[in-house]
Amino acid sequence: MMFPEITGASPVSSQSLYQNETKSGHNGPAFGGFVSQNRGLRAIAIFEGAKGLFILLVGFELLHLLGTDVQESSSQIVHHLGLDHGALAGVFRRLLDNINDSSVLMMAGVALLYALLRLIEAVGLWFAKAWAEWLAILSGSLYVPIEMYKLIQHPTWIRIAITLGNLALVYYLIRVRGGRRSNLSPPQPF
């Protein structure tokens, strides 16, 4: 019982909430949500939101480079991270040679737009909006061919984990969308 003397409501057990059948014929909580789907969507929303916040910070850090000696600042960052030796050193040096304020501004703008997209997607997934689920399916699916190509070219455990994680995420979202579509009752005539 849920404290009827305090709330003044009739006693309701938590088990009866999950045994309630709604009008559409699916079993779920009496308040109409799918608890496990919402938990999954919210976990994905937190992940997408974290990615968005990280990219947002990267974008703002790029904006801080405007008006400075970009090559020197970037060179110091590369040295600090220990990336100035080995195979990546030449790649970073070539990238640093071509960096100027306009390219930094463009990279910051792209980062900020990408972050905004991820944050909007995260909010939509948090509230289980269909458009956000479709956006997540689309954006996750776009990376699969690139990840597969990289995995074939140079397989590593990290790439395997990223590819499998992305495939699992896309599969889960497709199942959520398909499950929602199959739980809809046919339209009733007036």
- Number of H helices and E strands in the chain, helices first, is 8, 0
Per DSSP, 138 falls in state H
The encoded tokens of residue 2 equal 């849920």
Is the entire prediction scored with pTM above 0.75?
Answer: no
- 173 burial (CB, 10 Å; 0-12 / 13-18 / 19+) is buried
Q: How many angstroms separate the CA atoms of 81 and 64, rounded?
A: 19
65 pLDDT more than 90:
no
Spatial distance between the Cα atoms of 177 and 67, rounded to a whole number of angstroms: 47
d(CA 77, CA 104): 15
Tokens of 16: 């009866």
Query: What pLDDT, on the 0 to 100 scale, is given for residue 48?
Result: 95
- Tell me what pLDDT residue 141 has: 94
What are the tens digits of pLDDT across the range 68-88? 877 777 677 767 767 666 666
pLDDT of 86 reads 65
Whether the per-residue pLDDT at 44 is higher than 90: the answer is: yes
Residue 144: partners with Cβ closer than 8 Å, 6 or more residues away: 163, 166, 167, 170
Least confident of 17-21, 112-116, 165-169, 172-176: 17-21
Query: What pLDDT, in 10s, does the model give residues 111-153?
Result: 999 999 999 999 999 999 999 999 999 999 998 999 999 999 9
Q: With CA atoms as reference, report the closest residue to 70 among 92, 89, 50.
A: 92
Quick one: pLDDT band at residue 20, thresholds 50, 70, 90? very low
